[in-house]
Structure 1
Amino acid sequence: MAADGNTPEYGPEFELACELIARRSLTPDDGGCCELLMSRLAPLGFSAEWINAGGITNLWATRGSGAPLMILAGHTDVVPTGPLDRWDSDPFTPTVRNGVLYGRGAADMKSGIAAMVCAVERFIAAGEHKGTLAFLITSDEEGAARHGTRHVVEVLKARGIVPQYAIVGEASSNETFGDRIVVGRRGSLGCNLRVHGKQGHVAYPHKGDNPVHRLMPALAELVATQWDNGNAHFPPTSFQISNLHSGTGANNVIPGEADVVFNFRYCTESTAEQLKARVHAVLDRHCPRYDADWWLSGEPFLTAQAELIDAAVASIESAVGIKPDFFTGGGTSDARFIAPWGAQTVEIGPINDSIHKLNEHVKISDLAKLSSVYEGILQRLLR
């Protein structure tokens, strides 16, 4: 670890976070992170099962038996670093500057995993617990997310396993640690759309069929559509175009095809099938020939306020003295696979301002606070 020359003893959460950051676990590579985690969990009585698929490392580690089943979930894979010369220090050399830990994965989400493990070490040292305590750790969250948590959930569901609670260690805080927890997520529905026309000369438009001219009014209608009004927990559903392409490169050719990629981030007031049907109704009016390749990244979910949220709020108030807001925005996470499984699910983690950015970082003082919050939730629900 590189330090600022005056590094005090920061505690076990910091040390484990540094060990994890130092492993180059670029998605979908685990980089040996799960083996490191099991070296800490096995002495506590956890049994490891490797539910790997498609080259993805998936750790399912359990201790105890029966209900309630509490899952601590996270991912070891990280996004690419971006230009190395724009980092102030090597992204895989954990570095301390002014009480801040820098490195790829520092906030998303190796510090969360480290805080979970250390919380469990203290929790178990204090006495036995009821039910089952489990870790679900994957190396396929930042990538395709097909063979990671999604796969593990399918395997465990087939065995009849149903969790009661799940905590995902994603970076959830906004401006200060503990000011926000994620209690739900919007769904994500995307589409690769290709509109077919007929290539021709721009001087003879009657002999061609310009797909761009057909696509533009359809997109204008889709952009102007109010898909729903949202509700008390979610903003209205959003439609966004991310890519648009057509043409041969020549300035005198009517293109034969036009391609567009768009995405819905949708709330619980709409379903994927409803959104698809409404889009197809618009396209059918404007585009005689098209192909729509849809993909669903996750359905929306909302955890109702019950014992898990109550325990999370009480633990945060005890650790940092503030009452967190409930949040359902942002992107997707592996909670989208766990919540529909039947678990009350929340996301609690450090400040998310630097995730996926250059010079990703976490405040070192927040690591012990985060670990204390996790331990408090375990105490309230499993003692």
Structure 2
Amino acid sequence: MPSESPPSRAHIDAVELTRDLIRRPSVTPADAGAMAIVEETLRNLGFACRRMKFGEIENLYARWGEQGPNLCFAGHTDVVPVGDAGAWSKDAFAAEVVDGVLIGRGSVDMKSAIAAFTAAAAEAIEAGQVRGSISFLITGDEEGVATDGTVKVVEALAAEGEHIDHCVVGEPTSAETFGDMVKVGRRGSINADIVVEGVQGHVAYPHRAANPVPVLVRLLSALQSRKLDDGYPEFQPSNLEVTMIEAPNTATNVIPGVARARLNIRFNPNHTGRQLADWFDIEAWRAQGDFKGKITVTSSISGEAFLTERGHFTDLVAAAVADVTGAPPELSTSGGTSDARFIRALCPVIEVGLVGKTMHQVDERAPVDEIRRLQQVYARIIARYFES
């Protein structure tokens, strides 16, 4: 009998590649060798790979092909901390498969997506389906402060004239069942740190002090009393959430000298980050009144709201998901922020990934079957993209 032919160099097992990546404990901002695995795998497939390091963050841009259109996949190798390691049923970085489920930090968010798209791209290239280019934009700074990752790579690529036509981001977008939702946009996000500095004193002699607590409460009440909006086409209403209040004080008979608060607004296109920051300042000025102390508001805009308008690209992705699941996904803008907020400066972007229920949790886990189905979805996206 003739011997079996060796497996193709282009064949990649998405589950095994995911396990290899999980075994690299790349807790943000550490890399731990995860980026090298992605780079070596893509280089072996014929991709031209460029490490783009900013600060201490490892980033990678890899491209197969020189002609357009250029379909890009974006993702991140960094993961959030394990938390209580003793609460895990398995070592968070052992990447064990138990009863068909892969357990490990990054299994959902989002090393599996990187592996699945890599496997799909390898098969598409070998099959001659790619009439153009496929690229990867991988960062190690998505779960961290996100200052030296995708945003810097996007700026550098734009300055160089690198053209990306469309992008798929591998965030875990499915809500309840695999493929039930993809993200076509995201709300913006703004944080505000509020510090009210007063004058410490004895509670029995308030005229000798300036209590910052009532001033802070007055400011927060004014901010929370405003109804930001009723929503926006394709978006849910904006919401303001107070995330921290403190007035460091261990005594019962002392008026504190300072009070602090922190808040976040997730906003739709009815607003811009700058408009909301200006509103904070106006309300702080009103709350100041005749207060003898000082109010300082420091705003930080994490990202603006954006939407990839429905059209050929969104239809193509939705059809690819339906090819595998049998039902079209919901096109949603819900959830938190992602690096798509930076990539949209280059091209239309859509996010497609696994069910996100266990991301950032103890025993983060992904069914092996769903990782393989995600590979099938990505394969259909690639095939449909270069057919059109």
Range class of TM-score, shorter chain = over 0.9
Does structure 1 retain, via aligned residues, the 8 Å contact 2:343–2:349?
yes
Give the CA deviation at 1:128: 5.2
Secondary structure of 1:146 counterpart: coil
Give the CA deviation at 1:38: 2.1
Find the partner of 2:370 among 366, 369, 372.
Answer: 366
Q: Look up the match of 1:96.
A: 97
Does structure 2 retain, via aligned residues, the 8 Å contact 1:49–1:61?
yes
Q: Look up the match of 1:147.
A: 148
Q: How does the TM-score come out when normalised to structure 2?
A: 0.93
Give the CA deviation at 1:18: 0.9
Superposition map of 1:1-383 within 5 A = 12-127=13-128, 129-288=130-289, 289-339=294-344, 341-383=345-387
Partner amino acid, structure 2, of 1:362: A
Q: Distance in 2 between matches of 1:128 and 1:271?
A: 41
Runs of 4+ in 1 over 3 A off after TM superposition: none
Q: Look up the match of 2:3.
A: none
| CA pair 59-153 structure 1, distance change in 2 beyond 3 A | same
Q: Distance in 1 between matches of 2:219 and 2:281?
A: 10
Q: Distance in 2 between matches of 1:75 and 1:126?
A: 27
- Unaligned 5+ runs, structure 2: 1-11
Secondary structure of 2:109 counterpart: helix
Give the CA deviation at 1:307: 2.1
Partner amino acid, structure 2, of 1:374: Y
Q: Distance in 2 between matches of 1:271 and 1:333?
A: 17
Q: Bigger shift: 206-215 or 72-81?
A: 206-215
Partner amino acid, structure 1, of 2:378: Y
Secondary structure of 2:284 counterpart: helix
Q: How does the TM-score come out when normalised to structure 1?
A: 0.94
Give the CA deviation at 1:51: 0.8
Partner amino acid, structure 1, of 2:147: R
Q: Distance in 1 between matches of 2:311 and 2:166?
A: 11
Give the CA deviation at 1:287: 2.0
Q: Distance in 1 between matches of 2:279 and 2:146?
A: 27
Does structure 1 retain, via aligned residues, the 8 Å contact 2:129–2:386?
no
Q: Bigger shift: 160-169 or 183-192?
A: 160-169
What is the CA RMSD across the aligned residues, in angstroms?
1.3
Q: Look up the match of 2:8.
A: none
Give the CA deviation at 1:146: 0.5
Secondary structure of 1:101 counterpart: strand
Does structure 2 retain, via aligned residues, the 8 Å contact 1:187–1:298?
yes
Q: Distance in 1 between matches of 2:179 and 2:40?
A: 29
Identity across aligned pairs (percent)? 39
The C-alpha deviation readout for 1:312-335, integer Å capped at 9, x for no partner, is 111111111111001111111111
Q: Distance in 1 between matches of 2:113 and 2:248?
A: 47
Secondary structure of 1:108 counterpart: coil
Q: Look up the match of 1:4.
A: none
Secondary structure of 2:162 counterpart: coil
The C-alpha deviation readout for 1:286-341, integer Å capped at 9, x for no partner, is 125211111111111111112221111111111111110011111111111101x1
Secondary structure of 2:110 counterpart: helix
- Unaligned 5+ runs, structure 1: 1-10
